[in-house]
Chains A and B, each alone.
Chain A
């Protein structure tokens, strides 16, 4: 065991010397390779952490949300609908939700306005998300001027700010009383944005949703499982940008693996011949190539993985920020809870380390089976 380890150490010595001969080439190869692993691993970590967050946070979202559709678009729902739904057996509560969007023309940002179900906030005051307070440069006690739909100003006082830790759900929220909300949008009191429905037995959700559609043909119920599924398929690997990034990374990898696989230079062939002639076995030559491949690919995998972890969980995926931010003025800054999927890492390992190492060994294997006297005859 120790003895064969010695032999491998010897072979590693030579493999490294051999790699160091083309220092620039191999270090840039390592850098590119690390970069590819870094980008892919960052994406995987980011997406996995977000999915996990969504699954845990939204587990407490309403069992069902009922919207009303008008001409193919969501419309306000009359309070009478709530009564009808409440009368369906199995429904425990129906709560009208009042919420909407507000575009601030001065700061150019979009906010989500929301009225809490329990009247926890008195008219004239608001609670804001951390990013809203940053964007508007307001603190607790400050007044914020809103423009109502009648173009008259509405002054509300900030009563509280959600901590930055809540950014993933509350960054752009402005919580206000129903009276202020209705005043702001000239919102009829008999209407709601949609209805949040709780169901006694979670297994009856689908049945109740069917009954809702039966009773109210223009209603569109959205189940909690559908909400969760939306977030499960969000950032799906098939998603636009993901495919672009992944395919670019994979393609560039394939190109250089192909380059390696096909390009065993005359010089390398000659070296394999020399090694065989001075008493290296075919297996030794293959181990040499194996270690050459591992030195690059395993280092790249481990380094890329570690860098990606730091990038996503300590630096909040700063490199993705611009793509995620898009045209938005208000971008929620959030620290993701570290979560790494072992399966993802395993797949990444098999997609990066193995093909590269194989691409290094296979051509050498073809060359190493030649007769050792080739070196003598050259």
Chain B
């Protein structure tokens, strides 16, 4: 459960080029549901995702997480939820690593190293044994039918393969929440539909999924539990799916 109350994010505060990317957004994201942020580019979707994903702190407002597994909180604190805007960087990093899986618009894979290693990267700073997460990474690659590319450098892969590597990487630490920013932007319609099928499996596993997109294949999908429309940093309409 993620709660945003009156969240605002401004850049270049106090300078002539100050602008507000997210303006007074209040939102509750239900666990186990697929929420889609819909809106044109520049509407603040990506900034909102980065706020929810603990990558940056809001300029004002609060973001509360509930039911998150972290090493540094007691059970009661976890259940009661906590405000991420006040946590130190180190804790944010840990939350990011354990709770969120990110699928970026540009995939953000590291060039020059193998697909398998790219998938394993988020697990490297954890205390888990190498053999365990390597096995999991191989399993994920098998699941997405790209095992044959495990040892290939990522720049040799096609767009669809790249995305599947990126998805596998998002899943390596078994996160509760998947955040995807314009996941279908670089895919054709067929691959985009395949992506939505993968999202369906996330839902089936009970994961919370949050997608920012202006692609109808994504936001008109039957899978979407809720579509939040954004424009100029504000949520304009909230259309719950029947």
Contacts and interface: CB of A to CB of B under 8 A. Distances in A.
- In the complex, are there CB atoms of A and B closer than 8 Å? yes
Interface of A: 3-4, 6-7, 9-11, 13-14, 17-18, 21-22, 267, 271, 274-282, 284, 371-373, 375-378
B89 interface: yes
Contacts of B102: 277-278, 376
B55 A372 contact: yes
Interface residues of B, number: 38
Contacts of A3: 127
A372 B56 contact: yes
17 contacts: A4-B127, A10-B124, A10-B130, A13-B124, A21-B112, A271-B110, A275-B110, A277-B102, A278-B97, A278-B169, A279-B98, A279-B125, A281-B93, A371-B55, A372-B55, A373-B50, A376-B102
A1 B114 CA distance: 29
Interface string B93-117: 1101110001010101111111001
Interface in B28-49: 46-47, 49
Contact of B125 (A10, A21, A377, A378): A10
Given A18-B113, A274-B110, A378-B106, 9 more contacts: A3-B127, A13-B124, A14-B113, A22-B112, A275-B121, A279-B93, A280-B97, A372-B56, A373-B56
A376 B113 contact: no
B125 A11 contact: yes
A328 B173 CA distance: 71
Contacts of B108: 274, 277-278, 375, 378
A170 to B, nearest CB: 60
Nearest to B93: A281
Interface string B154-176: 00000000000000010001000
A9 B130 contact: yes
Contact of A376 (B49, B89, B93, B128): B49
Contacts of B93: 276, 279-281, 372
A373 B54 CA distance: 9
A271 B154 CA distance: 14
Contacts, number: 101
A378 B109 CA distance: 13
Chain A's interface: helix, strand, loop or mixed, by majority? Answer: helix
Contacts of B56: 371-373
Interface of B: 46-47, 49-50, 53, 55-56, 89-90, 93-94, 96-98, 102, 104, 106, 108-114, 117, 121-130, 169, 173, 181
B125 A7 contact: yes
A274 B129 CA distance: 23
Tell me which of B96, B98, B123 has the highest count of chain A C-beta atoms within 10 A of its own C-beta: B96
A284 B104 CA distance: 21
B113 to A, nearest CB: 5
A14 B121 contact: yes
Contacts of A17: 113-114, 117
A14 B130 CA distance: 12
A279 B97 contact: yes
Contacts of A9: 130
